[in-house]
Structures are given as C-alpha cells and as structure tokens.
A and B are shown apart, each in its own frame.
Chain A
Amino acid sequence: MGPNLFANYGEAVSAILFCIGFTNLLLQTNLIKKIIGLNIMDSAIYLFLAEKGYITGRVAPIVADGVTSTESYINPIPSGLVLTGIVVSVSVTALMLSLTIRLYTRYHTLDLDEISTQLKREGK
C-alpha cells in the first residue's frame, strides 16, 4: 500500500464507485439497472477528475479582478475534461435508454437473457 491512500480519499471513493458501477453492469439482469451502473461508472470517473484538479485553498478558475497568477486558481484542465465527459455520457445514456424502450416494446421484458431466449425461440 502506498503512502497516499488517506490523502487521496476522494480518488479512493471514486475507485470504489467505479467498481460498484462495474459490478452492477455484470450482475444486474435488468437493463435499466445496467444503464444506471454505467452512469455510476462515468460519475466515478468525473469525481476522480474533479479531485485531480483540486488544489487546497484555491478557487474556481474564473478570473476575478484581473488577477491572473497561478497561485489563486485551481487547475482548469480537469474541469474542462469533466464537461466534455458529461456530454458524452448524456448522449450514451440517451442511446441506451432508447434501445431499452425499443426492446421493451417488442419483447415486454427488460431482462437481456430472457430476450435472447425469446430470440432463439423465434429461431431467427
């Protein structure tokens, strides 16, 4: 175990969250829950990124009173990455949900294995 586990508690939480999302993805049979698992994973990563940008005692990088010294602001890059990442995850979630709707209207179930079984029964 390295020296910084407790200093990096935010990252630690995000790591655990990531794995919770991962487990959801593996174990849940309900598609909606799977999607939630995916979202948890994504959020964990954004938490991780946000933690990366933080510097103790500094403020968000919006220039106030014309002060542009590095001492006053936190790192802006992770914030930007999080913004981009959120848009990506919104798009993906929308796509997944619409796929789920489509499957549900057709097979009236949210269980992927059951859908496979039905498909095999159709023999197509």
Chain B
Amino acid sequence: MYLILLSILFPAAAGLFLLIRGRTPLSGEKGNTDRKTLLALTGCFLVITASLVFASLLTVKEGFTLFFLTKTLPIYFRIDGVGRLFSLLAVIVLPCAGFFSFAYMKHEERESRYYGFYLLVFGVLNGLCFAGNLITFYLFFELLTLSSMPLVLHSGSKEAVMAGLKYLFYSLCGAYAALFGIYFLYQNCDSLTFTTDGALRASAITQQGGFLLLTAFVMLLGFGVKAGMFPMHAWLPAAHPVAPAPASAVLSAVIVKAGVLAIIRVLAMFGKDFLRGTWVQSGWIILTLVTVFMGSLLAYREPVLKKRLAYSTVSQISYILFGLAVMDETSFTGALFHVLAHGFVKAALFLCAGAIIYKTGKTRVEEMRGIGKEMPLTMWCFTIASLGLIGIPPTGGFVSKWYLALGSLESGLPVFGVLGPVILLLSALLTAGYLLPLTIHGFFPGADYDYGSLQKKEPCKLMTVPVFILTFLSVLIGLFPNLVDGIIVMAAARR
C-alpha cells in the first residue's frame, strides 16, 4: 500500500519541490552548475519513481482505501491487469522522454518549471493507473489535464498559450460530460469500484435502459476527447506542434492513452453485454472509423512533421478505440497490444522529430531532404518506428493490427465486421504514404542534392539512447509478443 502511495506522492512532491525551488538557471558559469544540479535532481527523481512503480507493479496485490471523500465515495487504489499495462507503458516512456529532454531543453527558459510539471504528470499518471474506482480515476483525470497543460504552453508564445487553453477547454468539456455520466452511474450502481463486467443494477437496466445508453454514449464522447476521438479531436493537432518535443512524445504516447484507459473502465462499468448490439456501439464504431480514416488523410496532407505525427496519433488511437468498440475478446487483446505498440512507436517518432528540430531547426517535411545523410542513426530509428506504425511484420504494430482485424471479422457484426478491417487497411496504406516518403527522401535525396554542404549532425547520446530504447522495445514486442502476452491476457481477463 505504501508503495502505491509513494509512487504517486513521491514524484508529485518532487515536482512541487522543483517548482518551488524554481530559479531559472542563469547564463554563465553559475548557471551551468545550477543547471547540472537541476538535471541531476530530476534524473534521480525519475529513476527513483520508475523503480518505485516497478516495485509496486511487482509486489502489490491488494487494493486499499485511502480515505472517504464522502460517505459513499472512497478514494480507493488497486492495481489490476489493465492498470498494470498502462503503468508499464508510462514507466518506460516517461523516463526515456525525460532523459531526452535533458538535452533538448538546454536552450529553453524556465527548465525547472518544465521538469517540475513533468514529474507532477508522472505522479498523476501513476495515480490514474492505480485508481481503483471511478471517482478516484476522475480525480486524477482532472489533475492530469491541469498538470500537463503547463507542458503544452511551456514556451509561453501566443500560439502555445492559445493551444494550452484550447487543450484545457476541450479536456474540461470532456471531463464534465464524463462527470455527468458518473453521477448517473453513481445513482444506478452499488459502488463505483471497477468491476470486470458491468456494475449496473439489474433493476436500473430494465427501468432506465434507454437513458443509461445515452449516459454511456455521453461518457464515451467525454473521455473520447482526451483520446482525440472525432468530433473533439481538434486540440491534438493544435497542442502538439507548440509543445516541446519530449512533451509531445509523452502527450501522444501516454497522456492521450489516459482517455483510452478511461474508456476501458467505463466499458467495464456498463458491461459489454449491456452495450453490445445497441445504437451506442454502432455510433461509436462509426465515430472511430471516421477518426481512423480522417486522421490518416489529414496527416497525409500535412507538411509540418510534428503536426503530421499528431494527426497520425488521432488516427492510431482510434484503432485502439475501434478494437474496444467491437467488444470482442481478440480485438480487445489487439487494442491493448496496440496501446503498448503505439506508445513506444509514437514516443520514438516524436523524439526523432525533436532531435531533427533540435539539430537542424527544420520543421517541415519538404525541408528534410537528405536528412538521413546528416543524421543516419536517428533516421534509422525513425524508419523502423514508421514500419511499426504501418504494421510491417517484425514490429509490434503488425501483431496488434492483426489481432484487431481478426477480432473484427470474428465478431460477426453486420456491416462493420467487414468494413472495419477494410478501413484499417486503407489507413495503414495512408500511414505508409505519409511516413515513408520522409525516409525515402531522407536517405535518397536525389541527384540534385548538394553533398558538399553535408555535415554530420548526429545528436548526443542523451538523445539517441532513449530513441534507441523505444525503437528496440517496439521491435521486441513484435518479435516476441509472448513477453507481454502474460500481461495482456491478464488484462483481458480481469479488465
């Protein structure tokens, strides 16, 4: 129990400490030592937090109640299969991106604020993964929005502030819609503790079935905002390009997944049997498919690299949502697998983009001709990660998409069972269309490329190593899916 609490409170406290300690490193000799201390502190904090989380993942079995918010609303923590999976993702991606930012943030102002909020986000994410009931989850969900907003508007420019406000506004709207649903669930459930299959009272289903369906849909939409689902996806492409690259990596790989986690929880609360075959399921599938296709299409048209990746996130997250919406065992496994696969891949891609921006200052795709010659290591990682995102066999993306398509076909849904895989395939083609040109032009700039001005711009180790790790992991889970199968199966069984 203390491990869980520690893994939430320690990073939060450390973050607050950095925020309060607060001076911006000065320039010159003194500033340099200042900055070193800051980095050392942050590094220690990150490592300690990560080990705390690992420890709690391995050892803690029972849930516990911290205190009662009101008589019937306890703040309750428990680690279950799904939570374990998401926590695993967070605990790998966050330190990697954190170490990456040590190099990336060198020239930014107010680093301590960045790291402070970064650690806060880490703590809140742990809380989110370990939350044992809906109200605890909601608490951390709100805190996540608030603590991650400063990361988005870190640079303080007008666009950044506006993007941050947009993010906040969308998220709060979504969270309120979700809260709206929580009130009803609270009325119609015995408790808000997460269950495996449906917590609704039988009497409530018979009496207020229609209304509960509406509630479910509203909750899905509300949490879907965080996951970038179609009608409310616009904050993603606005927030990503302005945030620092490691922050976008975290945002895209982990924070957006919080919406997915939320939807899994909601689904479990309502129970699949209650939702299967209703208009909610069809409506939801339509939304996810629209998002999948539209996201890829928009990414295809997008010239700015980070924005392109952001659209790609919109599309890929909806793969996961589609897997959930089909409500089939196999597709569920696929969805969970894709959470991991996409998390690693997208983090790696964003970090690569960050490295490119950091070294060359180029943000648009057409400027990046020959980039593979300048930064071969980074571009190799980028390529492998791209393959993972497209779903080419040796990578994790393939496994997950395979499961997704298989599950969809198995589910026997009237139209979507077949339509789904088709759209997924189309989208994968588009993915190849918007990611591979970068590689191709990067490594084969064409005949008119001026080799004379070529210079090696490979970034420092602090940048490359995290990218390596993430790329490696994305391939690893594709080569040996059994490694994570245990967790996935456990998650799928005890969702």
A and B touch in the complex (CB under 8 A): no
Binding site for B on A (CB under 8 A): none
Binding site for A on B (CB under 8 A): none
